[in-house]
Amino acid sequence: MPELPEVQTTVAGLQKILPRLVIKDVWTDLAKKNQRIPHFKETLKDLSFYQKFRREVSGKKVISVERRAKNILINISGGKTILIHMKMTGHIMVGKYSYDKKTNSWTPAPDEKNLALRDPFNRFIHTVFTLTSPRTTSRPSPYKGEEEFHLVFCDSRKFGTVKLVARSLLYAPGSMLHALGPEPLDKNFTFAKFTERLSKKLNGKIKPVLLDQSIISGIGNIYSDEMLWLAGINPRALVKDIPAVKMKKLYAGMKSVLAKGIDFGGDSTSDYRDVQGVPGKFSYHHKAYRMTGKRCSKPRCTGGILRIIIGARSAHYCSVHQRLSNK
């Protein structure tokens, strides 16, 4: 699942392209009549919502693009925000696509020069926004001079969601964004705040606590394994048992590993691709995640990487420098 660095990479890409463009139309092949899955109600997977969404966003101009936790926020004119969550396998790309009526599907247009969009991982296109540029403005995008192009949501497992929210209600009590913990890379997210957040789950195991979006937002399976490896903490360690010196290492490791993820353009162990359809390179720099059976790469450590399951999620850690008794 895309985590903070992947979502940030996508948002940074969209920020360069989308502002001032106009949404001409929206297409999806996922909308179902009488959507039964509660999680998909009020998303594009709900036919009546899709029809309303299409009416509401067509003709609107993109004002700005932001990230909050693992969510992409596309602010449009008229006071609304398109809220996208990529979930398991979703990723967003921008390019020139063409629609085939016979197969009811979209593929990169014949004159689309970006070959990365033709990568097989990029073929599961289930939602398409058609975009145009207002003729009166000069756009700072790679599509300058192009009449029409597309923002596509590629999602092989189809768990991703697209919603529309009034901007004034985005952070209202009870909303999805309201319940999220602080941003780990925020300058104001100090070590004191970090320990204060974790202290809400003193009896919890550190790995699931790091994944809990209401405690700290944006961290998932990959980066939690990597930050625990850096700090020398066992993923099963109880928060209350972690000594202050290791907590400091975890805090520093969290900041550095997330920043490194962004620097490498995210992680593509799974399906993630950036807006140009290109894989991120953090996948080549794992120390723990999916390194099961490999020797630990920490200098002078004699351990090997093990995999365990904690609360239905996998965790990878070093048998020596992350030993559970190693307080």
Amino acid of residue 106: W
Q: Which range binds Zn ion by CB under 5 A, 89-97, 201-209, 266-274, 297-305?
A: 297-305
252 binds Zn ion (CB under 5 A): no
Half-sphere exposure (Cβ direction) of 326: Cα atoms closer than 13 Å = 17
Give least dist CB 220 to Zn ion, A: 22
- Counting every residue written for the chain, the total comes to 327
Task: Region of 78 please: left (phi>0), alpha (psi -120 to 50) or beta.
Answer: left
321 binds Zn ion (CB under 5 A): yes
Give least dist CB 292 to Zn ion, A: 13
Alpha helices in 264-313 (DSSP H): none
Q: Which range binds Zn ion by CB under 5 A, 93-101, 109-117, 208-216, 312-320?
A: 312-320
What's the rounded Cα separation, in Å, for the pair 275 and 96?
12
Looking at residues 277 to 296 of the shown chain, list those that interact with Zn ion (rule: CB under 5 A).
296
Name the token pair of 277. 């359809």
Q: Which is nearer to Zn ion, 19 or 303 (CB)?
A: 303
Q: Which is nearer to Zn ion, 44 or 288 (CB)?
A: 288
Neighbours of 112 (CB within 10 A): 17
Taking a C-beta distance cutoff of 8 angstroms, is the pair 136, 11 a contact? no
Give least dist CB 316 to Zn ion, A: 11
Give least dist CB 223 to Zn ion, A: 18
Q: For Zn ion, which residue of 123, 236, 294, 298 counts as binding (CB under 5 A)?
A: 298
Q: Which residues are at the interface with Zn ion (CB under 5 A)?
A: 296, 298, 301, 303, 318, 320-321
